[in-house]
Amino acid sequence: MIRNFLHLFISILLLSGASSRAQNLPSPKEHFGFNIGDDYQLATYTQTETYIKKLATSDRTKLVDIGLTEEGRHQYMLIISSPENIKKLDRYKEISQKLARAEDVTEEQARAMAAEGKAVVWIDGGLHATETVGTMQYIETAWQLVSRKDPETLRILDNVVILLTHANPDGQEIVSNWYMREQKPEKRSLENLPRLYQKYVGHDNNRDFFIMNMKESQNMGRQLFVEWIPQIMYNHHQRGPAGSVLAGPPYRDPFNYVFDPLMITGIDALGAAMINRLNAENKPGFTRLGGSVFSTWYNGGLRTTTHFHNMIGLLTEIIGNPTPETVPLVPQRLIPNGNTPFPVTPQKWHFKQSIDYSLSLNYASLDYAARHSDQLLYNIYRMGKNSIERGSADYWTLSPKRVDAINQLYQEDQKKPTAPTSASATSASATAVASPRGGNMPVKYFDSVLKDPTSRDPRGFIVSAAQPDFPTAVKFINALIKTGILVHKATADFTVAGKKYPAGSYVVKTAQAFRPHILDMFEPQDHPNDFQYAGGPPVRPYDAAGWTLAYQMGVQFDRVLDGFDGPFQRVPYGELQSPKGSLNASSGAGYTLSARANNSFIAVNDLLKSGVEVFRLPGGLSGKEAVEAGAFFVPASAKAKTILDKSVKDFGVDVAGVAKRPTGTMVKVAPLRIALWDNYGGSMPSGWVRWLMEQYHFPMQLVYPQDIDAGDLRKKYDVIVFVTRAIPAVSSGAGRGEGEFSGFGGREPKAEELPAEYRPWLGRITADKSVPQLKKFMEAGGSVVTIGSSTNLAYHLGLPVRNALVEMTSSGQERPLPAEKYYIPGSILRVSVDSTQQATWGMSAQSDVYFDASPVFKIAPDAVAKGLVKPLAWFSTNKPLRSGWAWGQTYLQDGVAAFSAPIGSGRLYAFGPEITFRAQAHGTFKLLFNQLYGTSSR
C-alpha cells in the first residue's frame, strides 16, 4: 500500500511538473510583443529561433537541428506529438521508414506496423520568405499544438508525429528586417527587397529538390527522403489566383505518368478534408483543379519531389500580407463551380485572416492523419510494394507517345488494301474500325505497343565507371542517394546483356519503392500536347515540361530491360559517394587532365592560383598517351604534384602521366578577371552561376549596370558574363535608350528611398549607355559571354545573325512564330556541336541542352565564310526533342543554338540554351568554363 501511495505521489508530481512546464510556455504575444497575424508585424528569424527553443521545453516536443543554412544559421525541425509518442520517436521513425521502403515487409507485417505506428506529417513554412503567411503560420501552429488541450488537438497528438520545419531561416531574417525597418507601420512594405532571400537562388530554392545543391535543400531532403519519409507533407506558399483566397489540392492535369494512382487519390482525399473544414468554418475562397495553374507534373520542388516518393504532397497558395490588402473583384470567380464551390466576395483582407485559414488547413490535414493513421501508413507501403512489383516484371508505363503509336498503327492499317471477304465479315470488320473512338478499335493495336518487349520499362540502369566524366556521374548518383534511392556499387568487373563493366560502376534497380523517382531521373518526360482548345494556344506547364537529370548532367548509362545481378554491394541509404581519381606517379615530363571532366577545371583553377603553368592541347595527343582536343597539360613539378594529389583525393580527378613534353602547338592558360552581371533585387540565374563558380574555384566579381555604364571596363575585367534576362530585346525604336527594351519593365526604387549601401546596385542595361561600353570593352580585347535572352546583345551590335523562329506575314513583315505553331517550354533538346573549337573543347559532338523558349539563330553563309560569325552548336534534325514538350520542333532544323563572333580584338559568345540551368546542366557547364580562361600559343 505504501508502494502504491508512493507511485501515486510521484505521478502527481510528474503531472504537476508537466503542467507547470506547459503553463510557463510564453504565448507569441508575450514573446514577440504582438499576436501572430497582427497587421504590420513580422518576426525575425533570430526572434523565432529563441521562441521555438522555449516551446521545445514542452514534453510534447523534440527540437532537431537538421543542419546549417547557406549563411550559417541553424535550421530546425520541431517534432510535436504526445509525451508518450515523443518517448518512442525512434520506433515510429523505424516504422515509417520500413513501410515507405516496403522491402522485405510482408502484407501481414505491414498491417501490424500500420496499426502500431503513428502517421507522420510534415508541415513547413517560410520557403519563399516574402510569402510571409507561411513563416508566421509556422510560429502560430507550433504554439497551438504545444499549448492547446482541446479533444481534437489531443487526438492529433496521440495519433500523429508532426515534423514542423522552418524552410528558410536566412530568408525570414532578410525579409522581416527589411519590412520592419520603417518605424511608421503604414510605411512598411515588402517591395524592393535589395537581394535574394536565399543567398544564391532566392525563389529557385523551390526548384532544387531532385539535385539538392543548396544546404537548406540537403537538410530538408535528408529528413524527407532518408530519415522520416512522412506519409503527408504540406508545403505553404503564396499567392492564390486573383479573386480567390487560396489555391489548393487537388490539382489540374496533367499529372506525371509514373505516379501510383494511390498518391493521386490520396491528394484528392486530403484536398477534400481541407476544403470541407474551411466550408464548415464559413471560410470561402478555396479554389482547386482548373481554378489554378498548379499541377503534379513537375519534379524538383519541395512538394513535388515528394510525389515521386509516394508521399501525399500538399501545396496551398494563399493571399495575405502584414500590410492589409483587398480581395479584388474578378467577376468570373463569383460563380460557384467545381473549381470554386464557395467563392469569396471582394473585401478588405487582414493578415490574421490568412493565419486563421492556414491554421484551419493545418488542422484539417492533421485531423485527417489522426483519423486515418493506419490507412496512411499502409497505403504508402502499398504504393512502395506496387513499385517493387512493377520493377520486378515486364511493365509498360502509359504515356501520350504510346497512345500516339497505337493510333498511328491503326491509321496505317486503314490505308492498306484488304483482301475480299464475305459480306458478313466485311460488315463486321467495317464496324470494328469505323469508329475507334467509340471503343471498337481492335485490341491487337494495344498489344502491339503495350506488349512490345523492346519498349517496356527497364529493370534497372547501369552507370559505368568507364565514362569520360565519372566524377559528374557520381554527383548524379549522389543526387539519387540524397533523395532516398537505393543504389548498388560493383565490387568487381561484371557483364550484363553482353556488355562488360568495370568495378566501381553503379547500379540502380527499379524494383524499389521510389521507382517513380528513378524513372523520372533517367527516362525522358513525355508531356502531352496541352492546348486551351483545338487549334488554340498552349497551356503553359507549371514549371518545366522536361528535366531528365541524367540527360542534363551528360551522364552515360545503360537501360537494362531484363532482370540482372552481379557482384553488387548495397550502398547504405543516404551514404554519399566519392569518386576515386588516379595519378600516374611516373609522369616524366608532366601530366594531362581531360577537358571532358568538369572537375578538371577545379584542379586547373587551383594550379593557376598557386602560380603553376597550365597549357591546353588544341590537337590533343594520339597514341598511348591519347587525350582529346582541348585537354590540359601541366609540366611536372613538386608544386604541381602536390596540388594534383589533392585534386585526385578531393574531386576524383584522373591525372595521366606524359613521358615527353608535347611537341605540337600548346596554348598557355591564364586566369582571367571575371565579372558576373547582377542587378538590384538579385538575379536567380546569376545567383546559380555565382554558386557554380564558387564550386569550381573560378574567382569572380559581381558587376552591376552602373559599373557597366561607367566605362573603362577593360582596365578592370577580361570577361563579363550575362545570364538570361540581363540584356533585353531591341524594339523597332532602336537607338532611343531604355524605352527600346521590351519585357524588362518594373519600377525600380528611387535611390533616395534606399540605404546608401544598396544604391550602386540600381540600374538596367540600356542601348544608349551600356551597349557602347560593352562594345568598347570587346574591341579592346575583352570577351562577353551571353546566355539565353541576353544573346540579344548580338542584335544590338548589328551582327549578321537573325531570329530563326519567325514567319512572314501577308504584308511581307517578319513576326515571331505564334504559340499555336511553335511552343517549347523548359525541355531538353539535342544539338550538334563543333567540338574542335576552343569554345567547345571537351563537349561531345551530340550534346543535350536545356532549352526554355530559348533563342535560335540563322546565320548567312557568307558571314560564316568570312569569319564574321562562327557557329558552335546547331539543330541538325527536325526532331531534337529528348525530354519534355516541343510543339513545332521542325522549325528548329538547321537553326544555330550557339555562336561566337569577333568584335575588334575581343569576342562575343552567344549561347541560346540555358547552359548553366539551375546548376543542374552539368553537361553544358564547359560551354561557360572554356570562356573563363585567357590563352596564348606557345
Q: What CA–CA distance (Å, rounded) separates 664 from 592?
A: 14
So what's the pLDDT on residue 436?
Answer: 55
Q: Identify which of 803, 792, 776 has the alpha carbon closest to the alpha carbon of residue 906.
A: 776
Cα three-residue angle 715-783-849, rounded to 5 degrees: 145
DSSP state of 823: B
Q: Are 488 and 258 in contact (CB under 8 A)?
A: no
pTM: 0.95
Give the three-state DSSP class for 425: helix
Residue 747 pLDDT class (50, 70, 90 cuts): confident
Question: Tens digits of per-residue pLDDT, 482-499?
Answer: 999 999 999 999 999 999
Question: Tens digits of per-residue pLDDT, 490-535?
Answer: 999 999 999 999 999 999 999 999 999 999 999 999 999 999 999 9
Give the three-state DSSP class for 642: helix
Q: Identify which of 725, 673, 674, 737 has the alpha carbon closest to the alpha carbon of residue 853.
A: 725
Q: Are 587 and 658 in contact (CB under 8 A)?
A: yes
Q: Is the pLDDT of residue 2 over 80?
A: no
Residue 430 pLDDT class (50, 70, 90 cuts): very low
DSSP state of 82: -
Residue that is written with C-alpha cell 532518408 in the block: 226
Cα three-residue angle 290-295-297, rounded to 5 degrees: 145
Q: Identify which of 358, 343, 357 has the alpha carbon closest to the alpha carbon of residue 287.
A: 343
| Distance from the Cα of residue 111 to its chain's centroid | 35
The beta strands (E) that lie in 586-683 are given as 590-593, 615-617, 631-635, 654-658, 667-671, 674-677
Q: Identify which of 149, 194, 105 has the alpha carbon closest to the alpha carbon of residue 680.
A: 194
Give the three-state DSSP class for 7: helix
**CA-CA distances (angstroms) from residue 414 to 400, 402, 421, 433?**
21, 19, 16, 8
Sign of the CA dihedral with 691 first, then 697, 698, and 703 last: positive
Q: What CA–CA distance (Å, rounded) separates 586 from 605?
A: 23
The beta strands (E) that lie in 412-496 are given as 460-463, 488-490, 494-496
The beta strands (E) that lie in 757-800 are given as 783-787
Q: What CA–CA distance (Å, rounded) separates 656 from 100?
A: 45
Q: Are 888 and 823 in contact (CB under 8 A)?
A: yes
Q: What percent of the chain has pLDDT over 70?
A: 93
So what's the pLDDT on residue 889?
Answer: 98
Q: Are 224 and 233 in contact (CB under 8 A)?
A: yes
Query: Minimum mean pLDDT among 85-89, 422-426, 709-713, 853-857: which range?
Result: 422-426
Residue 418 pLDDT class (50, 70, 90 cuts): low
Q: What CA–CA distance (Å, rounded) separates 392 from 708?
A: 59
Residue 434 pLDDT class (50, 70, 90 cuts): very low
Query: Which residues fall within 8 angstroms of residue 762, CB to CB, at 6 or more apart?
Result: 680, 704, 705, 706, 748, 749, 751, 754
Q: Are 25 and 54 in contact (CB under 8 A)?
A: yes
Q: Are 494 and 466 in contact (CB under 8 A)?
A: no
Q: What CA–CA distance (Å, rounded) separates 60 from 90?
A: 15
Q: Is the pLDDT of residue 15 over 60?
A: no
CB-based burial label for 194 (10 Å; 0-12, 13-18, 19+): middle
Question: Tens digits of per-residue pLDDT, 633-679?
Answer: 999 999 999 999 999 999 999 999 999 999 889 999 999 999 999 99
Q: Are 102 and 381 in contact (CB under 8 A)?
A: yes
- Listed in sequence order, the DSSP H helices in 435-548 are 444-450, 470-482, 515-522
Give the three-state DSSP class for 791: helix
Give the three-state DSSP class for 335: coil
Question: Tens digits of per-residue pLDDT, 46-62?
Answer: 999 999 999 999 999 99
Q: Is the pLDDT of residue 1 over 90?
A: no
CA dihedral 727, 732, 735, 738 (to 10 degrees): -50
Reduced 3-state DSSP string for 358-389: HHHHHHHHHHHHHHCHHHHHHHHHHHHHHHHH
Mean pLDDT value of segment 138-146: 98
Exposure of 540 in the CB half-sphere (CA atoms within 13 A)? 8
CB atoms within 10 A of CB 282: 7
Mean pLDDT value of segment 710-738: 81
Q: Is the pLDDT of residue 735 over 60?
A: no
So what's the pLDDT on residue 111?
Answer: 98
| Distance from the Cα of residue 673 to its chain's centroid | 30
**CA-CA distances (angstroms) from residue 109 to 42, 105, 116?**
48, 6, 10
Is residue 833 within a helix (H) or strand (E), and if so which, with residue range?
strand 827-833
Q: Are 648 and 597 in contact (CB under 8 A)?
A: no
Question: Tens digits of per-residue pLDDT, 345-384?
Answer: 999 999 999 999 999 999 999 999 999 999 999 999 999 9
Q: What percent of the chain has pLDDT over 90?
A: 89
Q: Identify which of 868, 898, 936 has the alpha carbon closest to the alpha carbon of residue 718.
A: 936
Q: What CA–CA distance (Å, rounded) separates 799 from 907?
A: 12
Q: What is the DSSP string of 552-583?
A: HTT---EEE-S----SEEEPPTT-------EE
Mean pLDDT value of segment 769-786: 98
Q: Are 39 and 323 in contact (CB under 8 A)?
A: yes
DSSP state of 531: B
Query: Which residues fall within 8 angstroms of residue 908, CB to CB, at 6 or more apart?
Result: 778, 783, 784, 786, 793, 794, 797, 799, 900, 901
